[in-house]
Amino acid sequence: MAAWTGTATAPAVPARRHAAPPKPAPRRRVATRRRPLTSGVGWIVVLGVLLAGVVALNVAVLRLNMSLDRLSQEQTDLHAQNAALQSQLSSNSASTRIEIAARRMGLVPASAQDTGYLDLSRR
């Protein structure tokens, strides 16, 4: 065993070199997808086409409604004309009017004695 003498030297510490600072670990890039300009323009085009379609559909429905309204008005007019013609037919076929027209032509009603009947059941 060695005696302790008080003048012992400390173990040698290696001299520090001025080394470059340690490189930081490479950063992992988070994949950020950049939206290309065309996707925004694409959506605008799609929305524009859809809007144009809605407008075209509304115009078509408006035209159909206008033609339906015109046909409905024409139907109402034809019903009124038909009713007027039916009334005229009814008044023209009245027995008093026919009798007056017959008298103007010189026709007279037959008397009961001059009226004869045929029996068609006998052969």
Predicted TM-score (pTM) of this structure: 0.44
The predicted-structure confidence for 9-46, as pLDDT tens digits, reads as follows 666 666 666 667 777 777 777 666 665 666 788 889 99
Rounded Cα gap, residues 29 and 24, in angstroms = 14
Whether the Cβ atoms of residue 101 and residue 108 lie closer than 8 Å to each other: no
The predicted-structure confidence for 92-107, as pLDDT tens digits, reads as follows 888 888 888 899 999 9
Angle at alpha carbon of residue 14, lines to 11 and 19, rounded to 5°: 160
The predicted-structure confidence for 58-95, as pLDDT tens digits, reads as follows 999 999 999 999 999 999 999 999 999 999 998 888 88
**Tokens standing for 56?**
């075209």
Rounded Cα gap, residues 90 and 96, in angstroms = 12
Residue 65 to residues 15, 52, 59, 91, 114: CA-CA distances in angstroms?
98, 20, 10, 39, 67
